[in-house]
Chains A and B, each alone.
Chain A
């Protein structure tokens, strides 16, 4: 199944490359994207790594299905390469705790640290000790300010952010017959990942679908307020044909608002897998599609990039894993492709 996933990822990657999607996801410092499938450790190098007695630590920002899948992808690749994972941490989105977590894991003197730096500004000092200790750093989705590829870190690995937003727009357009009024609920924060995804949706609707119009837009910083925001949007625009929601957490609030209003016609498209959202989709509710990333592949590519660094092989500065559009028709395959696990029973029964 793992090989099948890789083949599907590779195929999709090639497809996206030909469509030019990769050309439009750019790194935090303007880097050009390289598909994750190009970052591999050759079988001939595995023995050298196994004999090195290397260790790795995973310094995450939070705990979620996504992080679990990234961890699993990284751990499986590390196991293949004979690298032991000696510590895993969760900063719960707290930059100060992430700094402490880094200090703590460095006590174990890991050769590799995989991490999602919570904030470019506040993380710069936090990761400096790891840099000083010559740790191979591979970042997920974000990079501390002033850090340079090949000097402080081996690679940044992230989703194909533009493709995620674009595929969300394409899925909504397909369901609406490429016509209708759209609401755009975006992440109201300076966060590179969500900003690129949100803007890609908006750009695609504006450029590719002349008969669709974004008539309402609202920023969200606290997912708990999604329901209020959606209620206000629906009050002003009761004829919305579709709504884009920046990620699945707030989309649950939007869905709740639609149900409370008895609205069964406004379609919802969102990003990142969530069982409640997918359940609505397979039951023919408001949700038309969920666009997800290949989290397991992200973890594998991070581990591979770090291992290549230990061997003195340079990895690309900015690596992206493809996006997957999950609909009611491919929910089982999509779940496996994204999170490397079976879809919840509620979705496939």
Chain B
């Protein structure tokens, strides 16, 4: 009995909190909102579609946090990438528009990476500055105007289309999670990211090129933010300077609840996916419950606080 208790105490709750939390919230909504459409295929699919850009951004942030850095600028990158793509698509074919969006995301991420890795500036301050810088760029690019996306192939590929009956946003989510998980868990690069985040000096001593890792993770994060921008542009069939602006806290919460350590050296892509779905499910369920907007915010805040507290408490222990 004592050994069972000891084992339970030793169990690192943070590894499972996101899965337990997800299950509990799902069961709660399933029971209370079963007759209000929560369990319908359409609603459950909607949750995945709505969280697709959040999940994609969360994957990038897992790499950055696991390497011991942070990126606050990805929300602004989303808007710049979406607007770049939408503007280019107005005159050029599909692949040029896609390249424009992804290229802008990668370039801004690379820019962040160079400043952090080679000028030795703290990533918090660098990305805080570039967050404001590129939010301004997004506003000035089209003089605050929204840009419609009329390219049907683009809309199908990144928004409302489907392949073999599976919505394209679901496919992007599955693809990005699978690739992200593989790179993070199964490749030397993933191990180097974790080693850098765990102890950068020790990683350097063992021959890991720490500055390269820092540039790479921030570039990946920028590129994935660019992809999220394309998904938003496809879904809304338009790009606007506000896209991604309010996602920063949602993505950080999804990643931390998912079990990635803020201090670096620990991360999980699958956890980030489940954290992101949990955030989406919370938004969805609280609206379906018919709560007032203020009550939705309070309940969501309390649940996130509990989840983050459990995650971080175990990390700190």
Contact = CB atoms under 8 A, between A and B. Distances in A.
A binds B: yes
Interface of A: 60, 63, 85-90, 92-97, 99-101, 103-105, 107-109, 119-122, 124-126, 145, 188-190, 221
B237 A92 contact: no
Contacts of B284: 104, 107
Given A95-B146, A124-B238, 17 more contacts: A60-B293, A63-B294, A85-B290, A87-B288, A89-B293, A95-B236, A96-B232, A96-B235, A100-B280, A107-B42, A108-B37, A122-B239, A125-B159, A125-B237, A189-B144, A221-B139, A221-B144
Contacts of B243: 94-96
A95 B293 contact: no
Interface in B30-72: 36-38, 40, 42-43, 46, 49-50, 53
Interface string B262-289: 0000000000000000001001100110
Contacts of A92: 246
Contacts of B43: 104, 107
Contact of B36 (A85, A107, A188): A107
B246 A122 contact: no
B290 A87 contact: yes
A294 B294 CA distance: 23
B314 interface: no
A46 to B, nearest CB: 23
B214 interface: no
SS class, residues of chain A in contact with chain B: mixed
Interface string B143-174: 11111100000000001100000000000000
Contacts, number: 104
B242 interface: yes
A99 B244 CA distance: 13
Contact of B288 (A95, A108, A122, A189): A108
B46 A107 contact: yes
A107 B287 CA distance: 10
Interface string B129-153: 0000000000100011111100000
A124 B50 CA distance: 17
A125 B238 contact: yes
A-B pairs, 6 with minimum CB distance: A121-B146, A107-B37, A122-B238, A100-B50, A90-B293, A125-B237
Contacts of B159: 125
Contacts of B244: 96
Contacts of B293: 60, 63, 88-90
A282 B46 CA distance: 50
B25 to A, nearest CB: 15
A79 to B, nearest CB: 15
Given A60-B293, A103-B50, A107-B46, A94 B288 contact: no
Contact of B236 (A86, A99, A107): A99
A302 to B, nearest CB: 17
Contacts of B148: 121, 124, 145
B198 interface: no
B124 to A, nearest CB: 21
Contacts of B37: 107-109
A37 to B, nearest CB: 28
A91 B147 CA distance: 20
Q: Which of A89, A120, A122, A124: most chain B Cβ within 10 A?
A: A122
B236 A126 contact: yes
B240 A119 contact: yes
Nearest to B50: A100
A88 B292 contact: yes
13 contacts: A63-B293, A87-B290, A96-B232, A96-B243, A99-B50, A99-B235, A99-B236, A100-B46, A105-B287, A107-B38, A121-B238, A124-B237, A124-B238
Contacts of A103: 46, 49-50
A94 B54 CA distance: 14
Contacts of A107: 36-38, 40, 42-43, 46, 284, 288
A133 B64 CA distance: 43
B290 A86 contact: yes
B56 to A, nearest CB: 13
Given A87-B287, A94-B246, A107-B43, A190 B144 contact: yes
A120 B53 contact: no
Contacts of B288: 87, 104, 107-108
B235 A125 contact: yes
A121 B240 contact: yes
Nearest to A94: B246
Contacts of B297: 90
Contacts of B38: 107
Q: Which of A63, A105, A107, A124: most chain B Cβ within 10 A?
A: A107
Contacts of B236: 95-96, 99, 122, 125-126
A104 B46 contact: yes
A108 B246 contact: no
A122 B147 CA distance: 8
